């Protein structure tokens, strides 16, 4: 099939381009990019793309799938459908399923369940999507667990997991045994796989559910001090400085954390970092509604934290924006704020909301946002995203910033609805992806 996208706004972080072009796509490859393409075959499908945005496919560093074990929250198929509908061409699932992804047999089972692998690094072949979804499903990466049953006491067989194609290693939960963390960093050095840690001191977190500050007092909710995150990051940075194994720091949520990471990068430490999309859009003021989908872990920051995170992303201190899609059933989330499990869905909502509140307000350039959602997350996984130039594979996302839609059960591919934007009208919608 040959398609001509006419007068589309091409946003390419690889080539640092934000311009109007015609783009010819055929047989899964970009064939031509020019200001005007007229020499086309008679069977070419022509699409007027004025007002639309074309960029590299979005890449999510980490999110949760319900399957295996919690299929009522999300199946792998619904997860991939939601990702495709949100503009993602590569997604990565955390290992905290049931059973935990801590052994090669389960990785192989999941790969087989998804129809086999493609290439290296735990990529699954795209399945045939339902007729209602016009985009191919994204490639799926699997994170292997660092510890057995994510109990934080015994390492998994890291080399065995690496041999079956996990994308990298993480528990997706805080690891507080620093002696074990040190051993993990030593063992992983020769494997050449990414390792991601979520630094958080659970003793300091205690039973807190909101970031410490005036709003925590105002809303009468137990607070979490900034030091719960920053002391754990400082300890992690000391280990990286000593051992030298590259590390990705997940779920950065405070201004002080951004400062620590900036200093570490300036000193040459081999680290990358990510924050989640909701921490860039909302702060503790939003918790006034007591909506259980605003109960996140780490919690939403104070206004100064949100501002620092935005600045950190723009400056490259925070490399990537992760979605951290965390589905829960209706029954699990219909509880008091402090009692509900933390987390919210996001795969289908992140790009429209980030574009609306960061790009359209001109706080971010389109290139800055797209880079943090595509090329940079791929680099954190040790991968590359191709430039939008001839002869490259067509791994692309077509986005309409002006299309409006309502967030409701029938408009979502995810099986869960735990989002504070449920029932609201959004502006911005993914038209199609190529994968």
CA–CA distance, 419 with 70 (Å, rounded to integer): 18
Question: Which residues neighbour 141 within 8 Å (Cβ) at sequence distance 6 or greater?
Answer: 90, 91, 92, 93, 121, 122, 123, 166, 167, 381
Per-residue pLDDT at 134: 73
Q: What is the pLDDT of residue 121?
A: 30
The answer on pLDDT for 117 being more than 80 is no
Provide the domain count of the chain. 1
pLDDT at 336: 96
Q: 368 lies in which domain range?
A: 57-387+404-423
Q: What is the pLDDT of residues 388-425, one digit of tens each?
A: 999 999 999 999 999 999 999 999 999 999 999 999 99
pLDDT tens, residue by residue, 352-384: 999 999 999 999 999 999 999 999 999 999 999
Q: Is residue 14 part of a domain?
A: no
Kindly state whether residue 394 falls inside one of the protein's structural domains. Answer: no
Is 138 inside any structural domain?
yes
State the average pLDDT over residues 260-266.
98
- 305-354 pLDDT, tens digit per residue, is 999 999 999 999 999 999 999 999 999 999 999 999 999 999 999 999 99
Q: Would you state the pLDDT for residue 382?
A: 96
pLDDT over threshold 80, residue 266? yes
Q: What is the mean pLDDT of the chain?
A: 94
- Residue 402 CB coordination number (10 Å): 10
141 is a domain residue: yes
List pLDDT tens digits, range 190-248. 999 999 999 999 999 999 999 999 999 999 999 999 999 999 999 999 999 999 999 99
What pLDDT, in 10s, does the model give residues 271-288? 999 999 999 999 999 999
The label of the residue with tokens 């590569």 reads 90
- For the whole model, what pTM was predicted? 0.95
Q: 133 pLDDT band (50/70/90 cuts)?
A: low
- Three-state SS at 99: coil
Asked if the model's pLDDT at residue 112 lies above 60, the reply is yes
Confidence of residue 110 (pLDDT cuts 50, 70, 90): confident
Residue owning tokens 């992804």: 101
- 30 belongs to a structural domain: no
- Is residue 23 assigned to a domain? no
The catalytic position among 12, 96, 283, 324 is: 324
pLDDT score for 152: 84
Separation of alpha carbons 82 and 87, rounded Å: 9
**What's the pLDDT tens digit per position in 49-86?**
999 999 999 999 999 999 999 999 999 999 999 999 99
Asked if residue 433 belongs to a domain, the reply is no
CA angle 160, 270, 239 (to 5 degrees): 75
- Contact present, 399 and 366 (Cβ < 8 Å): no
pLDDT at position 132: 58
Classify residue 110: in a domain, yes or no: yes
Q: Does residue 305 carry a catalytic annotation?
A: no
- Say which CATH number the domain at 352 has: 3.20.20.140
The answer to whether residues 246 and 271 touch, using CB atoms and an 8 Å cutoff, is yes
């Amino acid at each position: 099939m040959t398609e001509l996208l006419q007068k589309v706004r091409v946003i390419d972080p690889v080539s640092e381009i934000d311009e109007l072009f015609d783009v010819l796509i055929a047989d899964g490859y970009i064939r031509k990019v020019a200001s005007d393409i007229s020499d086309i075959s008679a069977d070419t499908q022509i699409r007027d793309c004025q007002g639309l945005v074309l960029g590299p496919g979005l890449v999510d560093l980490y999110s949760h799938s319900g399957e295996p074990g919690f299929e009522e929250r999300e199946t792998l198929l619904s997860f991939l459908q939601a990702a495709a509908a949100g503009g993602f061409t590569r997604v990565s699932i955390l290992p905290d399923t049931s059973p935990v992804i801590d052994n090669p047999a389960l990785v192989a089972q999941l790969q087989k369940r998804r129809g086999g692998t493609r290439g290296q690094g735990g990529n699954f072949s795209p399945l045939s999507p339902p007729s209602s979804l016009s985009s191919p499903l994204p490639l799926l990466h699997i994170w292997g667990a660092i510890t057995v049953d994510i109990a934080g006491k015994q390492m998994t067989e890291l080399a065995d997991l690496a041999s079956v194609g996990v994308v990298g290693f993480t528990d997706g939960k805080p690891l507080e045994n620093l002696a074990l963390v040190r051993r993990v960093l030593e063992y992983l050095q020769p494997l050449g796989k990414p390792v991601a840690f979520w630094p958080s001191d659970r003793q300091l977190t205690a039973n807190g559910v909101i970031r410490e500050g005036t709003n925590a007092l105002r809303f009468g909710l137990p607070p979490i001090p900034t030091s719960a995150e920053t002391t754990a990051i400082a300890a992690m940075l000391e280990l990286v400085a000593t051992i030298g194994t590259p590390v990705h720091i997940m779920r950065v949520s405070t201004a002080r954390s951004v400062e620590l990471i900036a200093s570490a990068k300036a000193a040459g430490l081999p680290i990358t970092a990510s924050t989640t999309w909701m921490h860039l859009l909302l702060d503790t003021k939003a918790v006034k509604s007591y909506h259980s989908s605003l109960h996140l872990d780490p919690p939403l920051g104070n206004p100064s934290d949100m501002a620092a995170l935005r600045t950190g992303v723009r400056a490259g201190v925070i490399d990537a924006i992760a979605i951290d899609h965390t589905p829960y059933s209706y029954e699990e989330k219909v509880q008091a704020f402090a009692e509900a499990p933390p987390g919210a869905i996001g795969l289908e909502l992140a790009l429209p909301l980030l574009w609306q509140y960061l790009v359209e307000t001109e706080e971010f350039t389109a290139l800055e946002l797209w880079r943090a959602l595509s090329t940079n997350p791929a680099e954190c996984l040790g991968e590359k995203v191709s430039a939008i130039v001839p002869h490259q594979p067509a791994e692309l996302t077509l986005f309409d910033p002006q299309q409006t839609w309502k967030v409701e059960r029938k408009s979502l591919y995810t099986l869960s609805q735990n989002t504070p934007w449920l029932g609201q009208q959004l502006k911005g919608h993914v038209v199609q992806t190529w994968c």
